[in-house]
Amino acid sequence: MNAIADQYAGQNIGSIFLYTLTSMEQKFRHAYDLRDVLGVTRPILVDALDGACHRAYGSMPNMTWIFARSGLIVYKSDWTDAYSVENAIQYFAQIPQRRKAGERLAPFHVERLDYRNQERGQFYKALERNGPKAVEEFRKAFPMG
């Protein structure tokens, strides 16, 4: 995701990471680790202790939302997958050029099923760093996960 964020930053397409945990100290420690250990270069936001932002956007453990500057939701996924996110960014980044070329575009809704690489061991190792509550919430959301 860092590479995708870097690639599109020059086109005024921003990317952030929202961190949610059980104490503010834990949240900040994990956010620093995300930056320093895992090399996340995007801005990292830390949610309020009650997780209000996380709940407002679906409460899933690894979601991605893309908003237009107007605040319109143009993409949401219950799982972050770099290929799917980049595909959406590429599509929406073309809209201004298509309009300048004279296309009369009208929005419509699409629902599709994407597939992600499932590296369970690596995922659970990272999830466990976030604590038992993160693991519990994930297992509730994805009972077969």
CATH number at residue 99: 3.40.30
Which amino acid is residue 52, in one-letter code? A
pTM of the model: 0.73
Tally of CA atoms within 13 A in the half-sphere of 62 that contains its CB: 18
116-130 pLDDT, tens per residue?
877 777 777 877 877
Range of the domain at 86: 2-141
74-114 pLDDT, tens per residue?
999 988 899 999 999 999 999 999 999 999 999 999 999 99
Q: How many domains does the chain have?
A: 1
The answer to whether 74 and 81 are in contact (CB under 8 A) is: no
